[in-house]
Structure 1
């Protein structure tokens, strides 16, 4: 919002939003390989402890801005190995429906934490100071590291357990890329993940100019951004608790469509009705419905885990999630660029319309490869490394 207020440029506003995904693009696949090279519980503990220390340094009063930005970038680099290790370890510990339910609960928690985090962070900065808020954030990471250290049972590194000794981090990363590239099933799953996300979340990149176009202030912008995560939380709860395991994968295709149609409709509402409380309420409601549709991530995640050998999961998750964040940033930039030529509502409508067309081929591939596994691709990845 601050960037848009100062520049009135949807593209610069979108660029600022997209920069948050840069660490994943630069270090995601490479750093995620640690989730297979090292014991996964150790990766979780070390990354959280490291981020706690870095945030504590950021909280030092008078820290120069360039130094703070550098520290923030290092903090962000902790996400790829942590998320890859967490996802892979969950798949190691839980199987079948238990993994699907755990994935749903994790997704719900993350979405609600995102909404609450926006509110709490703002309140802390207003009541205390940015340094105090950063210090509190550092404490949360430290508590998490201690909690993980106390609660997780030590497990050997997947690579050493399988007897497959890796010679370099780059070679490990290449194996993860080759595994996905040589498996039609994994390519289809990752294709749905990347293409569906590219267009479903593009509106976030132009949220500030869109809220302004709809006649809203900073509070309205917060509501606009919170609508989708709340929908995702509800959709995840429904998928996990009310839909049987055998039906979840069949819901991926209709849910992907459900996540994109409301985006198109929300853009059209803004174009036709313009500013006002009623159009804004309709837009928020449509984004909420789009979030419910985004629950397709849960059964897709389960399908991904089932198709990846256990010793490759950290690297495979790293590639998939790095691409996920990359396309989110690309979608934000694309929407911002479109909003320079048309209105923000027009850019959102365009994202939904193009998304429905673009996602059709990968959804067809996903349905055709149902039941396929990546075991043969795993062998090819090792021999071609």
Structure 2
């Protein structure tokens, strides 16, 4: 009987030379992305005084994943991953520097922002795949937990920094600062990453479209991957639908704009704490077994919070109760961390960029769909009722997916990997 896997520490993860630039540039990129979106949103609103156009500007960052995420992510498998990371950051630095030029027509700014956002799928796919290449065993699980936690914090820092920089300087200056962060990121990656060949360099070259389709076919023909992706999408669809009615829900609870930030921050704070607990206090063997109870924990408090809002009405006690329940839901939402590890373990290295692109593209899609459906439903019923429904219906919808996921535990993608690029 093999010995249990040893739990890794943060020190051991940071001791890996290549992880440090991958992690550091991830923080720079995330904060920089939020800085650019906020700065340009302010700039568009200043010029047009249109809430719709400013909201569209803020949302542009999600479009590339939906429109071409799987296609663009193929670059992470067809080209050397270190080269993809470096040149994508160079491209973003150049594009953002161009956006900082004063007096550019609004349509030019929006087009440039779209191309900046188009850089995200290949960069994130290459970074995620390379992380699995440089970290083994439980170090990858701990690094994934650390990355998810830092994502929450860097987004907050990016938003706060953007607001401060736009207020003190101007949107163009903030965009130029963002360009500098990407230039620094490119230099850091170029100096510290090892040169590895492209994962598909030893495989007969197929068309770009064929390689893109292989990522989709790998997931479709591998029960384990199909179950993982289905759980990710369904759990996220209902777990985050309540964010689509956050504004009217805060009004119903009697807090309005003042309480909106607290309402939205409760879940990410729970994810942060839950991620730390999983990384440091839970053994590698137990993390995957905890996925099912954590998924349930992420949805039950949402249903209860909606009921509390309907029954208790506005007031300090009901608001505090709802915030506490959303925090507990965030603790449960840390299920995405061991699920991420299971996903990487089930994907052959040569497919990781494309498979990651498919998973994340669908993730962005269901997040938008959940918020849209929740918002449309709230046109006819109270926001609290929408929240209660999202949690309750989510529990019903995720049950068969959890059953399929548990049935595939312990299986691997080796059979699919052995088929090669044209095995579908």
Shorter-chain TM-score above 0.5: yes
Distance change >3 Å, CA 237–CA 204, structure 1 → 2: same
Number of the residue aligned with 2:378: 339
Distance change >3 Å, CA 8–CA 145, structure 1 → 2: closer
Counterpart among 146, 159, 164 of residue 123 in structure 1: 164
Counterpart among 185, 188, 192 of residue 144 in structure 1: 185
The question of whether the paired residues in 2 share the 8 Å contact of 1:22 and 1:326 is answered with no
Number of the residue aligned with 1:323: 362
Q: Where in structure 1 are there 5+ consecutive unaligned residues?
A: none
The question of whether the paired residues in 2 share the 8 Å contact of 1:177 and 1:316 is answered with yes
Mapping of residues 349-368 of structure 1, within 5 Å: 349-368=388-407
Q: Where in structure 2 are there 5+ consecutive unaligned residues?
A: 1-40
The question of whether the paired residues in 1 share the 8 Å contact of 2:60 and 2:113 is answered with no
Distance change >3 Å, CA 262–CA 92, structure 1 → 2: same
Q: 1: distance between equivalents of 2:324 and 2:55?
A: 23
Q: 2: distance between equivalents of 1:64 and 1:254?
A: 52
Counterpart among 318, 331, 338 of residue 279 in structure 1: 318
Deviation at 1:271, TM superposition (A): 1.7
What are the superposed Cα offsets for residues 108-145 of structure 1, whole Å, 9 maximum, x if unpaired? 11111112222222222222222222222222222111
Deviation at 1:184, TM superposition (A): 0.6
Distance change >3 Å, CA 15–CA 227, structure 1 → 2: farther
Mapping of residues 96-175 of structure 1, within 5 Å: 96-160=137-201, 163-175=202-214
Distance change >3 Å, CA 86–CA 294, structure 1 → 2: same
The yes-or-no answer on 1:200 pairing with 2:200 is: no
The question of whether the paired residues in 2 share the 8 Å contact of 1:19 and 1:329 is answered with no
Q: 2: distance between equivalents of 1:377 and 1:261?
A: 36
Count of aligned residue pairs for this structure pair? 379
Deviation at 1:56, TM superposition (A): 1.8
Distance change >3 Å, CA 364–CA 94, structure 1 → 2: same
The yes-or-no answer on 1:29 pairing with 2:70 is: yes
The question of whether the paired residues in 2 share the 8 Å contact of 1:115 and 1:226 is answered with no
Deviation at 1:313, TM superposition (A): 0.7
Deviation at 1:193, TM superposition (A): 0.6
Q: 2: distance between equivalents of 1:218 and 1:71?
A: 32
Q: 2: distance between equivalents of 1:71 and 1:18?
A: 14
Number of the residue aligned with 2:96: 55
Number of the residue aligned with 1:178: 217
The yes-or-no answer on 1:263 pairing with 2:305 is: no
User: What SS does the aligned partner of 1:340 have?
Assistant: coil
- What is the TM-score of this pair, normalised by structure 2? 0.84
Deviation at 1:208, TM superposition (A): 2.3
The yes-or-no answer on 1:222 pairing with 2:261 is: yes
What are the superposed Cα offsets for residues 44-67 of structure 1, whole Å, 9 maximum, x if unpaired? 111122112222222222222222
Bigger drift between 223-232 and 296-305 goes to 223-232
User: What SS does the aligned partner of 2:412 have?
Assistant: coil
What are the superposed Cα offsets for residues 193-234 of structure 1, whole Å, 9 maximum, x if unpaired? 110011111122222222233333444222222222121111
User: What SS does the aligned partner of 2:204 have?
Assistant: coil
Deviation at 1:276, TM superposition (A): 2.9
Deviation at 1:356, TM superposition (A): 0.6
The yes-or-no answer on 1:89 pairing with 2:130 is: yes
Deviation at 1:381, TM superposition (A): 6.2
Q: 1: distance between equivalents of 2:176 and 2:315?
A: 40
- What is the TM-score of this pair, normalised by structure 1? 0.92
Mapping of residues 290-309 of structure 1, within 5 Å: 290-309=329-348
Task: Compute the RMSD of aligned alpha carbons.
Answer: 2.4
Q: 2: distance between equivalents of 1:14 and 1:130?
A: 16
Q: 1: distance between equivalents of 2:104 and 2:392?
A: 46
The question of whether the paired residues in 1 share the 8 Å contact of 2:60 and 2:114 is answered with no
Bigger drift between 368-377 and 264-273 goes to 264-273
